[in-house]
Structure 1
Amino acid sequence: MDPNVEDQPIAVARANISKLHNAVQLLRRVYFLTSRGTREAAVVPVDLGELIQRVGGPDSAVAILKAHLDDVTP
Structure 2
Amino acid sequence: MDTNQTDHPIAEARANLSELLSAVRLLKRTYFLASRGKRQAALVPVDLGELVEQVGGPDKAAQLLRGHLTEATPTP
- Identity over the aligned pairs, expressed in percent? 62
Shift of 1:73: 2.1
Structure 1 unmatched runs, 5+: none
Structure 2 unmatched runs, 5+: none
- Matched with 1:18 is 18
CA RMSD after TM alignment? 0.7
SS at match of 2:66: helix
Give the number of equivalent residue pairs.
Answer: 74
- Matched with 1:61 is 61
- Matched with 1:40 is 40
Distance 1:14 1:73 in 2: 38
Distance 2:50 2:72 in 1: 25
Provide runs of 4+ in structure 1 moved above 4 Å: none
